[in-house]
A and B are shown apart, each in its own frame.
Chain A
Amino acid sequence: MLQALADGLLTGSIYALGAIGLTLTMGILRFANFAHAEMMTWGAYMALGVLTLFSLPTAPLGPLTFGWPLILATVIAAGLTVVLALIVDRFVFGKLRGKVGHLTLVFASFGVALLIRNLINLIFGGRAQYYTSELQIAVPVAPGLRIMPDQVVVFATAIALVIAVHLFLQNTRLGLAMRAVSESPPLAQVNGISLARVVRWTWIVGGALAAVAGVLYGVSVQLRPELGFHLLLPLFAAAIAGGVGNVIGAVLGGFLIGLIESVSVLVIPAGYKLAIPFLVLLAVLYFRPTGIFAGTTGGK
């Protein structure tokens, strides 16, 4: 049980990071961006690319399996992911925004997702890869609880970023502008907020978070071209459960999905784990269509 909770929190923290970006784009850009999860894949692979390209030494930090090179690579990967997000917005979503219906944007995002995934497949190949071939052995910290040092770092990084995003949205003018656009784009524009600027920053924040989430996922699991695709459902479930546009909601939604998935295995056969995000999603949509945390303070 303890182990399941710890695993759930770890997975949940990665879901939370991904779901923040997703909920921001859904709230501010007003469409379900299916390509968001692919940005996680992109970020994760860009970090791998940087590591391989410059053949950085993989000197581990203390008990961790990675060191400064990966941290540096993550920063570069976040930058490259932001560039990708902006390029996609410039050439795909930007061209469509305001001219076509909501569904067209959704389909366009599907296309973008396929494009990114297959591009990665083309460059890096389809097999599973790892940042390091080192295997970390979990340390028993309590009876029935084993934790890897990497997991602690992944969790801490995710939490720190979540707090940073929250402070950014609450305490900066830009954050205020983003929340305003999320609330009502026409009203925000009337008040002199530049929609283009907010959209750009939404991509920057969402893209960078996605990249970091992707790297963290790669550290704790592995890299595969389908990495993002398989995270799509949990991410959407988290964002919707939290209430679209609600950042704190998305974070809590991410943890909720992660925990339920992990704990459910104690009750139901592991083979049915995949169905859990679906069930959560269905239950939320049935009982609280606006999301469990809708109406609380947060990005909305």
Chain B
Amino acid sequence: MPRTNFTALAAMAALAAGGVSLPGGAARAQDQDCQHPIGAVLSLSGSMAAIGSAIGDAGELAVEHMNAAGGLLGCEADYRLRDDQGQPSVGVDAAQSLVEVEGAEILLGAIQSGVSMPILSSVTVPNEVTQISCCSSAPSFTELAREGGTDGYWFRTLPTVRPQGFVMADLANERGYERTAVIYVNSDYGLSLARAFEEGIEAQGGSVTDMVPYNQEQASYRAEVSQALRGDPDSLFLVAFPADGATAMREWISLGGPQNLLLSNALRAEEFVSAVGAQYLTDAVGIDNAQVEGPSVEAFNQSWEERYGEPPAGPGLHTMYDAAAVGLLAAQAAGEYDGTAIRDAVREITGPGGEVIHPGPEGFARAHEVLAEGGDISYVGATGPIVFDEFGDVTGPYLIWGVGEDGALTEVETWQVERVNELMAATGG
């Protein structure tokens, strides 16, 4: 029984951490003999095991905070974590038992897109259960949502690369580039960023002359660069990783490509700049994820440290906490523990407009009060403000960077989430 093991482990961990008494201890003792199961399917073993159990802890922390704040809809939220072993078939079985046998109406997970997808299509959508993932970043979910395949039951708290493409398209437009060629790394990431850029460019009235994919680890990209140059572009959007990106960029400049350059996030590296030569990159502009800061992030970091005795370092912790918190608050706002009602409430409790709620028992307690009074809440979580678009994706703040004459990486400006969302709304993203 994985659950028993996990609970035992968690209990031991709590004891080991110095017998931290749960803030919810008192609340739990109240007459809460009913339970609402909160399902979670994560990779506790397998290739993602190294990060999986900590991500599980992040989900548990949110549930603990909710219980400490008074529970969920008058009952206790019961966190039920299952291992998918990194395998889709195991993950689907686990999700099936959580949803069909135990009656979970919220399913958190999975980590890998390859596991989340079959759970979504064969468990949560057919059973009308809201699924929120902390970590699956594949663009195929957006595609599926666009085609109506998710029925809106899919959300994720990890920003996809899609908004980056739109922001870059806006920069291209702002700088007066009209014909941009795109060279992108031939992967899910590269393709989706390139496509988003193309969409954004077209919405802004510009055009993309050529979209050229390249395979990683090639010694030369002359053929790709020649192909990109065919349409006589006035600028280039390069979606690449530093080493290959430098190769392609050198060949682009060598072959006489214009030095109006737009660069993807991974190229924000000294290695890239020094290999290409800073003198060619002074007109370049790039994008990267900006570090989110603010009281809501601090609130999460602090309560994590109190609970687990160390700062929250590692991927997926902030996003998992938010995934769980969004599910719980949506259920509370919906007034009933039902997947469809939760789905419909998710956008009510996020986004601007209501009273701002931060992570932690105090924040959730305040959420209970406001909701009980019939007010609106706006959850600002461990990853900052959260706005789900119509496909269940979120955006993040971005940093625009450039290269100085001396080769140093400079920060040009920061795009806050609000500005990104405005742009996305204006250009149909």
Contacts and interface: CB of A to CB of B under 8 A. Distances in A.
Contacts of B220: 11, 220-221
Contacts of B223: 4, 7, 261-262, 265, 270, 273
B250 interface: yes
B256 A140 contact: yes
Interface string B270-304: 01000111001000000000000000000000000
Given A128-B243, A137-B253, A222-B247, A231 B213 contact: no
Contact of B224 (A136, A140, A148, A265): A265
Given A270-B214, A271-B186, A222 B219 contact: yes
Contacts of A127: 243, 271, 275
B226 A7 contact: yes
Contacts of A137: 253-254, 256
Given A4-B226, A146-B255, 7 more contacts: A135-B250, A137-B253, A148-B254, A224-B219, A230-B218, A262-B223, A269-B213
B226 A217 contact: no
B336 interface: no
A133 interface: yes
Interface in B177-235: 186, 212-215, 217-220, 222-224, 226-227
Interface string A198-236: 000000000000000000010011101011001100000
Interface of B: 186, 212-215, 217-220, 222-224, 226-227, 243, 246-247, 250, 253-256, 271, 275-277, 280
Closest 3 A-B residue pairs measured CB to CB? A271-B213, A265-B223, A270-B224
Nearest to A274: B215
Interface string A132-158: 010111101000001010000000000
B42 to A, nearest CB: 33
A125 B253 CA distance: 26
B226 A271 contact: no
A242 to B, nearest CB: 22
B215 A135 contact: no
A226 B217 contact: yes
Given A127-B243, A135-B280, A221-B247, A265 B226 contact: yes
Question: Taking chain B's interface residues, is the majority helix, strand, or loop, or is none over half, making it mixed?
Answer: helix
A231 B256 CA distance: 26
A262 B226 CA distance: 10
A137 B252 CA distance: 9
Nearest to A147: B255
Contact of A135 (B217, B219, B253): B253
A231 B219 contact: yes
B325 to A, nearest CB: 40
Interface string A26-62: 0000000000000000000000000000000000000
A135 B256 CA distance: 11
Contacts of A226: 217, 219
A230 B247 CA distance: 15
